[in-house]
Structure 1
Amino acid sequence: MSGDAPFDLSPWRVALIYAAFGFLWVATSDSLVEGLPNHELIQTAKGWLFVGLSALLVYALVDRSQTELNRTSKRLESTLAHTSVLHRILRHDIRNACTAILGYAELVESRDDADANTDPVEAIRHRANRLVEVSDEVALLRTVELAEGNEVDVDLSCAVADAVDDLEIEHSAVRVSVTSPETLTVRAHPALPRSIAELLDNAVVHADCDEPKIHVAVWQLGEVVGVTVTDNGPGIPDAEREALLSGSETPLSHTSGVGLWLVRAIVDASGGSLDISTPKAHGTVVTVSLPRTA
């Protein structure tokens, strides 16, 4: 949430502001007009002026209230979308992982029909590590929502360089090329560097070849800056792409993980937009666009 709390424009406060304005107007204007010539004409003009100023005041108060209402509605929609994702994770990802762990645990027991090609201990370790990763991503998703409105200066060029270094250390076979200015700063959510790392990691995890290729471009177009990640993977299924871009999941349209939802949450909290395209040839192009606030 923003550090500057929105001004409370409840009905009683609006009425109080209007009443105070009316009282001050009557008290001051009558005393000023009373000793002037053409008293009645000035009183009429004063009345019309009061009507005009009252209309402007009411408009300003209602407009401010509507703005706050729209902002609250947007936060509510975002919260509902995140809740849908968390519900799907609990229902699908964690349940499946726990079922697999229980199945592999049975393989540890001495059985004649155990699959000799499966290392149950390694399989359990893999599934357990995945549960830890999902738990961390869910916790970060909640943190992003709570910290929405708190912006810091983020150097996109530096964030991309750090993410690429970490990726190449963890995945030695991946080939990453980068096009970026020496520095490009933007005001954004503090977790924005994490979203870039998630995009790179997602490109590697879902790669269908031995040597994944990724190109990262940091760019600026007028007052808009961004990061574009292009990979040579299998592409994002249409259902997942539709869910991410629409901001809501349905029983027939949902994502398979938390990573891209985390990216969307961070980008939304930064006042930016997320675009995902799948070229006809192969691969995926993900673009994060952000306003470059001075």
Structure 2
Amino acid sequence: MVLSASRFTERNAARDWLVAALGGTLTVAAVTHFAIHDTNDVMVVAATVLPAVALLAYGLWFQVFGPQVARGDAVFVWAVGGAGVVLTLDLWAIAVNAYGAGAAINHVLIQHTSIGALGAAVAGTYSDRDRQQSRAHGRLRRALDTAMDGIAVLDDERRVAYANQAFCDDYGGCGPDDVVGVHWTEFYPTETQTRLGDVFDDFDADKRDHWHGNVLARRDDGHTYPQELSVTPLDTEGFVCVSRDVTSREERDQRLRVLNRVLRHNVRNALNVVLGRASRLEDRLDAEIVVGGAAPEPVQSDGEPGEQSASDIGSIKTAAEDLLAVSEKARVVERVLREDDAASAPLAELVATEADRVGSDHPDATIEVTADADVAVDARFRLAVRELLTNAVEHNEAGTPHVTITARDGSEDPAGSEGRPFVRVTDDGPGIPSQEHRALEGVEEAPLQHGSGIGLWAVYWLSQQCGATIETDEDSTITIYLSTTE
């Protein structure tokens, strides 16, 4: 059965008329009574009719204004209940002959019923209003408590008066009671405190009525994270703050910027090579046509023109292959980073497998593996190991690159790993260039500076996603400290 919104509206409107209908009924009853029983006592008539008219007037008022604060059917039940109580008392009084023998009490019953209904209707309006407000406040509180964004209310001293669980989760996984009473500055580092302090000063000076921006927030362990924050002053004293951890969004935007810049850089370089070599081949072909009057076999002068053509063709093919390789690597990196629920893999097996793979792709290199870590890690870390080894081999100027990769559970390096498993890669190359250091630290390159590609950026992104930390030295050693999985 389908019920339209209009049918609900019509039904509710009918309920809003119930109190007025009861008042009208009692008014008609009072007027009819005195029309049948002629009386000259104006006070008796007024005392009987006026309460019924007052109930009718209140019902009409409620029909217009009452639905905004209470439900018509609830108020009607109160009115009927009040009338019933008074009528019951009157009937009891009649039963015990409290009014005296032979007393005319018909108008008294109407009068008392009207008064009881009117009083109960007024009481019911306020009672149902309070009940509806309480339910609305409860729904609002549940909505705030379960909201995905962090919500906090600051008092006039700018201390937390209320915080939902999402706000507490961003701060460090505590409960709302743990942050109530805490000053807002505890949630932000010094530079953000200064910035938001100026915002609060503007609020105090009535220079703004809302603020929204991105800031750097601080967790209870001291680590910082990017946060989107909105602050609005309340009509009374205090402020409401809505926050959101945008770490994932910032990382995604960074990936897009880096991939776009690296791909643009590589495409431009590759096309410059292709166009330059193709232009030289075209000039050479035109010269051969002019000499022979047609398109003869390539002219060989001590083998040089033919060798140059072969070299140009080889350069074009290499540029195209490099561009395809970078594009494929970007696709793989994006696919792996989009995986939210990754499986786990034994660290020792993962390292050995990737070392064999890179060794097969680069047979001139020597990769020495020491992997005795009996722990499981995020399987996505496989790609980071592959990129570390590939980078160590491909950017090594030695004729036979030598790379050492070590994977341990952390017990043999307690000072550096704090008991966490780690992977350490060392090679005999010239060292890690400064731009590659910046990639491993997550620092974006300037527009005119470019590293060798996206390999070490992939290592940084995957380490962040897997909860790992990276350490580098001035030589050719990179150490990644990992988090284990169950």
Taking structure 1 as the reference length, what is the TM-score of the superposition?
A: 0.71
Q: Do the aligned partners of 2:330 and 2:454 also contact (CA within 8 Å) in 1?
A: yes
> Residue 196 of structure 1 corresponds to which residue in structure 2?
385
Question: CA offset at residue 67 of structure 1?
Answer: 6.7
What's the CA shift string for 1:37-63, capped at 9, x where partnerless?
Answer: xxxxxxxxxxxxxxxxxx997454531
1:17 aligns with 2:142: yes
1:207 aligns with 2:387: no
> Residue 251 of structure 1 corresponds to which residue in structure 2?
447
1:132 aligns with 2:328: no
Question: CA offset at residue 80 of structure 1?
Answer: 2.3
> Residue 338 of structure 2 corresponds to which residue in structure 1?
146
**Secondary structure of the equivalent of 1:218?**
strand
The correspondence of residues 1-294 of structure 1 with structure 2, limited to 5 A, is 15-17=140-142, 58=163, 60=165, 62-64=167-169, 72-109=245-282, 111=284, 116-117=307-308, 119-147=311-339, 149-181=340-372, 183-186=374-377, 188=378, 190-221=379-410, 223-251=419-447, 254-279=450-475, 284-294=476-486
**Structure 1 residues 63 and 98: CA distance shift in structure 2, 3 A:** same
Q: Do the aligned partners of 1:225 and 1:291 also contact (CA within 8 Å) in 2?
A: yes
Instruction: Supply the distance in 2 between the matched residues of 1:209 and 1:19 (Cα, whole angstroms).
Output: 62
State the one-letter code of the partner of 1:160.
V
Q: Do the aligned partners of 1:173 and 1:212 also contact (CA within 8 Å) in 2?
A: yes
**Secondary structure of the equivalent of 2:398?**
coil
Q: Do the aligned partners of 1:274 and 1:288 also contact (CA within 8 Å) in 2?
A: yes
Q: Do the aligned partners of 1:155 and 1:184 also contact (CA within 8 Å) in 2?
A: yes
Q: Do the aligned partners of 1:104 and 1:120 also contact (CA within 8 Å) in 2?
A: yes
**Which fold has the larger relative contact order, with Cα–Cα distance below 8 Å and residues 6 or more apart in sequence?**
1
**Structure 1 residues 271 and 61: CA distance shift in structure 2, 3 A:** closer
**Structure 1 residues 263 and 19: CA distance shift in structure 2, 3 A:** closer
Question: CA offset at residue 157 of structure 1?
Answer: 1.2
> Residue 6 of structure 1 corresponds to which residue in structure 2?
none
Instruction: Supply the distance in 1 between the matched residues of 2:324 and 2:469 (Cα, whole angstroms).
Output: 29
Question: CA offset at residue 180 of structure 1?
Answer: 1.2
> Residue 29 of structure 1 corresponds to which residue in structure 2?
none
Q: Do the aligned partners of 1:180 and 1:217 also contact (CA within 8 Å) in 2?
A: yes
Instruction: Supply the distance in 2 between the matched residues of 1:209 and 1:115 (Cα, whole angstroms).
Output: 31
**Secondary structure of the equivalent of 1:163?**
helix
Question: CA offset at residue 261 of structure 1?
Answer: 0.8
What's the CA shift string for 1:97-137, capped at 9, x where partnerless?
Answer: 11111222234336169694561222111111111111111
**Structure 1 residues 101 and 253: CA distance shift in structure 2, 3 A:** closer
Q: Do the aligned partners of 1:14 and 1:61 also contact (CA within 8 Å) in 2?
A: no
Instruction: Supply the distance in 2 between the matched residues of 1:64 and 1:144 (Cα, whole angstroms).
Output: 26
Q: Do the aligned partners of 1:81 and 1:247 also contact (CA within 8 Å) in 2?
A: no
**Secondary structure of the equivalent of 1:141?**
helix
Taking structure 2 as the reference length, what is the TM-score of the superposition?
A: 0.45
State the one-letter code of the partner of 1:267.
S
What's the CA shift string for 1:253-286, capped at 9, x where partnerless?
Answer: 653311111111111111112222223xxxx111
Q: Which runs of 5 or more residues in structure 1 are unaligned?
A: 1-11, 22-54
State the one-letter code of the partner of 1:87.
N
Please, which moves more after superposition, 59-68 or 171-180? Answer: 59-68
Deviating above 6 A after TM superposition, structure 1's stretches of 4 or more consecutive aligned residues are: 18-21
State the one-letter code of the partner of 2:478.
V
Q: Do the aligned partners of 2:368 and 2:405 also contact (CA within 8 Å) in 1?
A: yes
**Secondary structure of the equivalent of 1:121?**
helix
Question: CA offset at residue 65 of structure 1?
Answer: 6.1
Count of residue pairs the alignment pairs up: 243
**Structure 1 residues 146 and 255: CA distance shift in structure 2, 3 A:** same
**Structure 1 residues 204 and 65: CA distance shift in structure 2, 3 A:** closer
Question: CA offset at residue 207 of structure 1?
Answer: 0.6
Of all paired residues, the percent bearing the same amino acid is: 26
Give RMSD over aligned pairs: 3.2
Question: CA offset at residue 15 of structure 1?
Answer: 3.0
Q: Which runs of 5 or more residues in structure 2 are unaligned?
A: 1-136, 147-159, 174-225, 228-243, 288-303, 412-418
State the one-letter code of the partner of 2:365.
V
**Structure 1 residues 14 and 227: CA distance shift in structure 2, 3 A:** farther
Please, which moves more after superposition, 199-208 or 160-169? Answer: 160-169
Larger radius of gyration: 2
Q: Do the aligned partners of 2:352 and 2:371 also contact (CA within 8 Å) in 1?
A: no
Please, which moves more after superposition, 134-143 or 207-216? Answer: 134-143
